[in-house]
Structure formats: structure tokens, C-alpha cells
Chains A and B, each alone.
Chain A
Amino acid sequence: METAPQNSSAAAPGLSGNGEDYKYGFTTNVEMETLSKGISEDVIRAISAKKNEPPFLLEFRLKAYKKWLTMKEPNWAHVQYPAIDYQDIVYFAKPKQKPTLTGLDEVDPEILKTFEKLGIPLDEQKRLSNVAVDAVFDSVSVATTHKKKLMEHGVIFCSISEAIHEYPELIETYLGSVVPVGDNFYAALNSAVFTDGSFVYIPPNTKCPMELSTYFRINTEESGQFERTLIVCAEGSYVSYLEGCTAPKFDTNQLHAAVVELVTLDDAEIKYSTVQNWYAGDPKTGKGGIYNFVTKRGKCLGKDSKISWTQVETGSAITWKYPSCILVGEGSVGEFYSVALTNGHMQADTGTKMIHLGKNTRSSIISKGIAGDQSSNAYRGLVRIAKNATGARNFSQCDSMLVGNRSSAHTFPYIETGNSASQVEHEASTSKISEDQLFYFQSRGIPREEAISMIVNGFCKDVFNQLPMEFAVEAQKLLALKLENSVG
């Protein structure tokens, strides 16, 4: 065990000349406390001890670790990458600071600056007044804003580490209740070593007074990020939650294996939106970038409850991600709206699972995949109607758009129906931006690149419409930026 200050190789922050540059590719020089590389029972005990966790959580971690040791990395996804050496990853990296923070003024100013540079000022005065933020830097949550105001409504929004101490009964009830520790290889790994993340609890009959959001930042080169998010929405409540992510540019790959669990009780609704822009690797060589292996799942436990996932995936070298809904409560509703853009050498295998268990449950899936350059973009989705799910209905629409001639798009829909009194519809299409469409825009004075961006944004409109306003604007800009250099 060692605790060593880390010197991150500080590249010039922000943008450099080249238009293809990833503007969030800078690193922050801040003293870090890390555990040595590798995973073992000792490392897990050390993480748990460092975080001063109650015994139930250490047990949770060890159980997950034992399970993980027996599991194999999944290889069914339509992605290729060299084997990951799990002993070569730092599982705990934390900015050195006072053990407990009472206010933002105690957060390392370098970190505050980092978030400001990312467009996420944590100073409450500067924040949009209707969005509360939990900022996660490498392994730990460094700041959560607007806590007081939320508390007045009984809304709990804090880092999961804090929740483990302050609300152990909620954590013990719900942690792992949607994604069991042994659910899959990456979820098991996360359950064993997760270091921080966000926790949200909305009490009964409460509409959360503002948007909640978490901003994830990977900073350390050799660290993995294993965050854990848990959102519980009690009877008759509503919350909209946003998630954003960036990372510096490194030539090596970083592993991001998060787990997100959502639970809705009767008549509750969670709207979960993600704009993912992890570093995708060098667009020419494919070197570096984030492996985004994430398990996101929601359980509509209560009747007439609803979980809605909206994701805009524009980054990561590899994305392996299937935000899903388990529809237990009668009449509950699951939704999945996705835009996945790949370019350079990116590979994405993403989609959803809609598991209909309760009667009259409904789900809809709208997926838009855009593949440019030499990238590969796959939609993979499962709709399962269980035996008792009489009256269940699903509608899926999966559209792919190819930009250029070297990219590929794939659709893998799986449908399993165990109840004949149910209805499943699936529509799919693949299109290419045609020369005639581009010429039409150009003949009106609109340059080619802007034309492509408009056409792609039009293609994604149904999904962008689902995003909260500020996010929708950001997402459109991000897409335009990403497309700038990916067209031949």
C-alpha cells in the first residue's frame, strides 16, 4: 500500500490548433492520493477502510469481487480491443484534500478551475439556478451544489460515499437491488471497487425543484473510473437527472465501468439524460481513448411508474452500454431514446433491454446511430415480454445513418415474447447522406459541413426533443463539432 503524489503530465490545457482536437483533452495538475495498481481482496479492504465504510458495504464489495473472479469478460459485443490487464489499473485515485469538506472554498482551486474550464462552474452563484451538480473527479465526488435548497424539499442529493454514512438504510435496501453484484463482468468489478458517485432520493409526492446533474471527469492516466449512481424516486415523485462526462487525452486507454441503478415506486418518474463525450482516441490512429463499459438499469417497481433514458453518445474509443428498464409495476412505462455517433476509429455497441414483467406495461425505443470515418456502430436491443405481462406493448425504431464509405452500421434486435396478448413492433432503416441532399443545401449557400450537421441533427430530432433544453442545444453543438472533420 502506498500513497504517492501524482504528477500528471500537464499538456497545454484547452484547445490546440488542430480542428479535430478534443477540447476537453487537458489534464489538471493536482496532488493525488492513489492506491498502487492492481486488484485484490487487500485493495478492496483498503478502499473500504479509506472510506470508513460500514461492514455491510465491505461485504457487498467482497461478494462482488469473489463473483467477479469467476466471471469472464463478455465477448459477444460487436467491438474489438486488446485484452485489458486488470492488474495494471489504479482502482483508487483521489485528490489530496482535507478529509471532510464543509464548503466549496475548501476544494482544491485547481479542481474548481478544471470544472470551470469544462463549463461546469461549481460556484453556486455562477450556476444556472435550476441545476444542481455533483462533480466527480477521478474516484471521488468533490462537490455537490444546491444541497440546502434541495433539503428544504426533502430531496437528498449527495455523493454516494456520504449517503453510505448518512443514509445507510436506504443504501442497504436499494444498492444492488437493480443490478445485482454478479450481474455481469463489469458490474461485478464496479461493485467490488466503486469509489464514488451520486445518490438521489426523492421523497413521496415531490417534484424535484431543479434538474440534478453529475459531471464525471477522469483525470489520472492510469486510473479507472468506477462510479456508482443510485436514484430512488418514491411514490408520486419526479426527478430529471443529467449526466455529462469528459476526460483528458492520453495515448493509453482508460477503463470506465460505471453502474447506474434507478428505482421508481408507484406513480413515480425518473428522466435520466446523458451526454457522453469521453475522449475517443486519436481519430487517425485510434490510439488511446476511454473504454466505456457501463451498466445502467432502472426498475419500475411501482404501478404506473416511468423510467426514461435519453442518451447522446459521442465519445469513447469503445462503448458497451445498454440502459435498460425492468417493468415490474402494472402499467409502468420504459423509454429509451438514443443518439450514438461514432467517427475516427470508434466502436459502439449500444442499445437497451426492455423487460416486461407486469401487466399492461409499455416501452418505446428510438435509436439513431450515425457512423462516420472507419467507425463501427451497432444497435443491440432486447424486448422481452414475460408470461404474465398481458397487454404489454413495445414499439422500437432503429435508424442508422452512414457518413462516408468506410463506416459500418449494424442492428441486432432480439425479441422474446412469452405472452400472446401483447404487441411488439420493430422498425429499422439504414440511410446514407446523399450527394443530392448536400448539393441542395450548398445550392442555397450553406457550406457542406454545416449541411451535414443540419441533416444529422434533423435525423436525431426525435431524440433531442427528449432532452432538457440546455442539454439539447449542447448536444446539437457537440454533434456538429464531432462531424466537422469526419466527412470525406
Chain B
Amino acid sequence: MTPMLEVKSLIAHVGEGESITPILKGINLSVKAGEVHAIMGPNGSGKSTLSKVIAGHPDYSVTQGEILFNGENILSLEADERARKGVFMGFQYPVEIPGVNNAEFLRMAYNQRRKAEGKEEADPLDFEEILDAKMKELDMDAKFKERAINEGYSGGEKKRNEILQMAILDPALAILDETDSGLDVDALKIVAGGINRLRGPAKAIVLITHYQRLLDYVKPDIVHVLSGGRIVKTGGKELALEVETQGYDWLVK
């Protein structure tokens, strides 16, 4: 079976000219449908960069390697084209967009996806039903429909809004960058519930996390440790526990 996501010998840089800095130094990663992978690693190891490069952030230049999504090289695609194919990224620090209504934004994103799949677009009333159901699952107050995107949200509210977007878009591949950071235990359970609902034989999930806490609620199939722009160790769930008790030093050497 072709993996859903295949990252091959990926080298990526940030900046240009004199100030160009390599961040990813040859990443290999293969994620099959139905799997949940966790990527752990110390600060500055390149975890966030990896998720942004897969999603197509223009600040990074890929100088070598490939990213295949369902067998297709997506490196030349714009971020929005990748998203419409079913790649979703949950942000560690979602940006605030003043004045742009959250529900309208969600409907626009939803309809872009529908359009790409050749399906009919949802009108505001139909969409509201879909949205209400998803918001209920995530225990989100109706006021989030009226508010501007992420503006004035607490850290936890922002993360919940990310998971809401994921639930609405129902992506084939979700890459979640530190979705657990800044959440209290109750919020963590709700967010984990949202992730588990996405889980299924046709879906793949990559959790990028600092701590193993989230992994108590969303059990990964495979755990990778990223350090210095390379994957230094791959194992099962137990690897996360080892990292939790022993830190990263023994792996980084």
C-alpha cells in the first residue's frame, strides 16, 4: 500500500542569501492511512518547521528531497492546493485576523474543499447545522461563531478552534503542531476527543508534541524523536514514555 505521506531525504532552509539557515537536514518519514504518529523532540529540533514545510509555508525553501501525498509530489503546490487535497495543519500559535468572522471563515474553507471535490457548496443555513454539531462535540460556546478569527481568544480557545477547523474540514492527513500546549486537563481531554474522532482507517494523524501527556489520550502507533533536523530514533508508544522519564539527552548524542 502506498503510504499517505512520504517524506524523503528532505532538506529545508529558512531565510535567503547570506542568512540562509538549514533547519531540516534529511528527514525520512512514512505515514500510512490509519496510523497515528507522534513526533517529539527538544526545542529547536525542527518539529514546527517540518509541519510548516509539509503544509507549504512560503518562508521555507526545500533544496532537496520530496514530499509525497498519496504518491503525488506536492512540493510545487501552493499551501491552499495542498489543503484542498486533504492536508491539514493545526497551528501552535494560530494568528488573529481582526474583523473576519470565524463562522464565515469556516464556511469559506469548507466550501473550498467541497468545490475541489466537485460537490455542491453549503449555503449559510446548511453550514450552520454542520458547524453547530461540531461545536457541540468540542463543547464550544456559540459566541465563537460571531467572533473574529482567534481575536482575543485565550490560548486554550485558540487550540479548540484549530480542532474545530479540523473537524469541519475532515482532512485525510492532519498534522497537529503542539496542539496540547497551553491546555488544562479538561481542555486537553476535549481536544484529544476531537482528534480521536478523526481517527479512522482512511485517516492519518501526525502529532507534534513536546510532552507525552497528550499521548495518554491519543495513543500513537509510532513515535519519532527529532533532533537537530534529523529523526534520531523511531519506536512504539514506549519510546514516548522513555523520553518522558529520561529526557532527550541519551538520544541526541
Contacts and interface: CB of A to CB of B under 8 A. Distances in A.
B58 A435 contact: yes
A439 B57 contact: yes
Given A442-B79, A445-B112, A459 B99 contact: yes
Contact of A442 (B56, B101, B105, B113): B56
B91 interface: yes
Residue among A443, A450, A459, A460 having the largest count of chain B Cβ atoms under 10 Å: A443
Interface in A449-471: 450, 454-455, 457-462
Interface string A375-398: 000000000000000000000000
Given A444-B169, A445-B169, A446-B80, A439 B58 contact: yes
A62 to B, nearest CB: 50
B56 A440 contact: no
Interface string A291-322: 00000000000000000000000000000000
Nearest to A439: B57
A437 B80 contact: no
Interface residues of B, number: 31
Interface in A326-364: none
A436 B94 CA distance: 9
Q: Which interface class (under 10, 10 to 19, 20 to 34, 35 or more) fits A?
A: 20 to 34
Contacts of A457: 99-100
Contacts of A444: 80, 83, 105, 109, 112, 165, 169
Nearest to B166: A444
A434 interface: yes
Given A439-B58, A445-B113, A454-B105, A461 B99 contact: yes
Contact of A446 (B59, B95, B112): B112
A441 B118 CA distance: 21
Contact of A448 (B80, B100, B169): B80
A168 interface: no
A443 B99 contact: no
Interface of A: 434-437, 439-448, 450, 454-455, 457-462
Given A437-B95, A445-B84, 14 more contacts: A440-B149, A441-B97, A441-B109, A444-B105, A444-B169, A445-B113, A446-B112, A450-B108, A458-B97, A458-B98, A458-B99, A458-B100, A458-B148, A462-B99
Interface of B: 52, 55-59, 78-80, 83-84, 88-89, 91, 94-95, 97-101, 105, 108-109, 112-113, 116, 148-149, 165, 169
